[in-house]
Amino acid sequence: MTYELFSPTENELIKLLDKRVMKIGDLTEEFYSNYPVKPLNFQNIVSGAILRINKKCKYHELNWHIQGFGLGRLGKTIWKEKLK
Protein backbone atom coordinates (compact mmCIF):
# COMPACT_ATOMS: atom_id res chain seq x y z
CA MET A 1 0.00 0.00 0.00
CA THR A 2 1.46 3.37 -0.97
CA TYR A 3 0.33 6.80 0.07
CA GLU A 4 0.73 9.96 -1.99
CA LEU A 5 1.56 12.18 0.96
CA PHE A 6 4.64 10.14 1.94
CA SER A 7 8.04 10.25 0.24
CA PRO A 8 9.40 7.16 -1.59
CA THR A 9 11.65 6.38 1.40
CA GLU A 10 8.74 6.66 3.82
CA ASN A 11 6.54 4.49 1.60
CA GLU A 12 9.23 1.81 1.42
CA LEU A 13 9.60 1.81 5.21
CA ILE A 14 5.82 1.55 5.66
CA LYS A 15 5.75 -1.36 3.24
CA LEU A 16 8.63 -3.13 5.01
CA LEU A 17 7.09 -2.63 8.45
CA ASP A 18 3.53 -3.53 7.35
CA LYS A 19 2.09 -5.75 10.12
CA ARG A 20 5.35 -6.78 11.74
CA VAL A 21 6.97 -5.79 15.01
CA MET A 22 10.62 -4.88 14.38
CA LYS A 23 13.58 -3.16 15.95
CA ILE A 24 14.69 -0.03 14.14
CA GLY A 25 18.11 -1.62 13.56
CA ASP A 26 16.54 -4.61 11.81
CA LEU A 27 14.32 -2.37 9.71
CA THR A 28 17.36 -0.31 8.75
CA GLU A 29 19.35 -3.39 7.70
CA GLU A 30 16.43 -4.69 5.63
CA PHE A 31 15.87 -1.28 4.02
CA TYR A 32 19.51 -0.89 2.97
CA SER A 33 20.09 -4.55 2.01
CA ASN A 34 19.80 -3.77 -1.73
CA TYR A 35 21.99 -0.66 -1.65
CA PRO A 36 25.60 -1.19 -2.78
CA VAL A 37 26.88 1.45 -0.33
CA LYS A 38 25.11 2.58 2.84
CA PRO A 39 25.08 6.29 3.67
CA LEU A 40 27.19 7.38 6.60
CA ASN A 41 24.20 8.14 8.84
CA PHE A 42 21.81 5.43 7.68
CA GLN A 43 20.28 4.84 11.14
CA ASN A 44 19.47 8.54 11.43
CA ILE A 45 17.78 8.54 8.03
CA VAL A 46 15.41 5.74 9.03
CA SER A 47 14.72 7.20 12.49
CA GLY A 48 14.00 10.61 10.96
CA ALA A 49 11.68 9.08 8.36
CA ILE A 50 9.70 7.34 11.10
CA LEU A 51 9.30 10.66 12.93
CA ARG A 52 8.13 12.34 9.70
CA ILE A 53 5.64 9.52 9.06
CA ASN A 54 4.11 10.04 12.51
CA LYS A 55 3.96 13.82 12.06
CA LYS A 56 2.19 13.43 8.72
CA CYS A 57 -0.23 10.88 10.21
CA LYS A 58 -1.12 13.33 12.98
CA TYR A 59 -1.35 16.35 10.67
CA HIS A 60 -3.57 14.59 8.12
CA GLU A 61 -5.54 12.87 10.89
CA LEU A 62 -4.92 9.35 9.58
CA ASN A 63 -6.31 6.46 11.61
CA TRP A 64 -2.88 4.86 12.25
CA HIS A 65 0.66 5.74 13.31
CA ILE A 66 3.93 4.00 14.15
CA GLN A 67 4.10 3.11 17.82
CA GLY A 68 7.35 2.34 19.59
CA PHE A 69 8.75 0.95 22.81
CA GLY A 70 12.28 1.06 24.15
CA LEU A 71 15.23 3.39 23.92
CA GLY A 72 17.90 4.20 21.40
CA ARG A 73 17.95 4.14 17.63
CA LEU A 74 18.82 0.47 17.24
CA GLY A 75 17.09 -0.84 20.34
CA LYS A 76 13.64 0.69 19.89
CA THR A 77 10.91 -1.72 18.81
CA ILE A 78 8.29 -0.29 16.42
CA TRP A 79 5.01 -1.38 14.83
CA LYS A 80 2.04 0.12 12.99
CA GLU A 81 -0.96 0.71 15.20
CA LYS A 82 -4.50 1.83 14.48
CA LEU A 83 -5.81 4.76 16.50
CA LYS A 84 -9.02 4.57 18.44
Q: What percent of the chain has pLDDT over 90?
A: 67
84 vs 67, residue with greater confidence: 67
**Range(s) of the domain holding residue 41:** 8-82
Helix (H) or strand (E) holding 25: helix 24-31
In a domain, 78, yes or no: yes
In a domain, 15, yes or no: yes
**pLDDT tens digits, 5-41:** 999 999 999 999 999 999 988 999 999 998 899 888 8
In a domain, 36, yes or no: yes
Residue 73 sits in a domain of what CATH number?
1.10.10
Name the 3-class secondary structure at 43.
Answer: helix
Residue-averaged pLDDT of the chain: 90
What integer pLDDT is reported at residue 1 of this predicted model?
56
The count of domains in the chain is 1
Which residue from 72, 68, 75 is spatially nearest to 54, judged by alpha carbons?
68
Residue 2 pLDDT greater than 60, yes or no: no
What integer pLDDT is reported at residue 72 of this predicted model?
67
